[in-house]
């Protein structure tokens, strides 16, 4: 008795495991400065917002002094505006003088808001900004914090080196879901389509298999 069966060609290709580029963050400093402490290394797990390094920078000091000047200017402008309100009620000054004081207060408020935003962009936490305003205590260093919860897979920073904005100091990846990238001969490429199921074996982990699916097929041929 003859029977009909569907035949499927099985292709085995070598590949490599990579971090999911959609769940990967390259973390650097927000300003130029010297690295005074490195708190994380490759393989360490980090939480969102966890400190990874400290950077000392003159730019940070200047930004904090600018903030203190903005706080002082805002307080002076507010007192001047209150005084003008009282003088207007006493018919000592005209409304034009009050409007001038109110305009100066609005400008001082905007300058303080801008100085506050600058410190927040640099990574200064709100509690440190509040302490700076209340006690004039300068924050000693910039904290480079993780922008993603995951695992440190790369570190390109050492204590004492100078870091500049745009330099990736750490790479953090969420390894809960990874990519397996494989290559096959050009003549076999037509047999692979997005959505196709695949079985993955990792020799170092024994005979265990994992199921996956193809999510991307390249548009170009790798000359290698």
Model pLDDT for residues 141-167, shown as the tens digit of each residue: 888 999 999 999 999 999 999 998 888
Confidence label for 46 from pLDDT (cuts 50, 70 and 90): very high
Q: What is the pLDDT confidence band of residue 1, given thresholds at 50, 70 and 90? A: low
Q: What is the dihedral of CA 180, 182, 188, 193, to 10 degrees?
A: 20
91-109 pLDDT, tens digit each: 788 888 888 999 999 999 9
pTM summary value = 0.68
Edge-first strand order for the sheet with 142-145 is 142-145, 51-56, 33-38, 162-163
- Give the pair of three-digit tokens for residue 10: 């099985």
Helix 95-121 / helix 126-135 crossing angle, nearest 10 deg: 130
- Determine the average pLDDT of the residues in 60-88: 91
Sign of CA pseudo-dihedral 24, 30, 31, 34: negative
């Amino acid at each position: 008795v003859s029977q009909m069966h569907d035949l499927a060609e099985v292709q085995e290709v070598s590949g490599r495991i990579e971090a999911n580029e959609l769940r990967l963050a390259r973390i650097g400093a927000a300003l130029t400065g010297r690295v005074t402490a490195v708190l994380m290394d490759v393989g360490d797990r980090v939480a969102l917002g966890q400190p990874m390094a400290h950077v000392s920078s003159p730019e940070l000091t200047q930004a904090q002094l600018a903030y203190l000047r903005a706080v002082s200017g805002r307080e002076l402008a507010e007192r001047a505006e209150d005084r003008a309100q009282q003088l207007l009620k006493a018919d000592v000054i005209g409304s034009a003088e009050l409007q001038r004081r109110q305009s100066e207060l609005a400008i001082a408020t905007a300058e303080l808001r801008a100085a506050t935003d600058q410190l927040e962009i640099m990574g200064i936490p709100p509690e440190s900004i509040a302490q700076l305003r209340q006690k004039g205590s300068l924050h000693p260093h910039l904290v480079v914090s993780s922008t993603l919860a995951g695992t440190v897979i790369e570190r390109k920073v050492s204590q004492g080196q100078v870091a500049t904005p745009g330099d990736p100091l750490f790479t953090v990846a969420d390894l809960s879901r990874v990519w397996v990238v494989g290559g096959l001969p050009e003549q076999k490429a037509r047999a692979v389509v997005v959505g196709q199921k695949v079985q993955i074996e990792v020799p170092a982990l024994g005979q265990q298999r994992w199921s996956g699916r193809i999510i991307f097929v390249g548009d170009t041929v790798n000359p290698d």
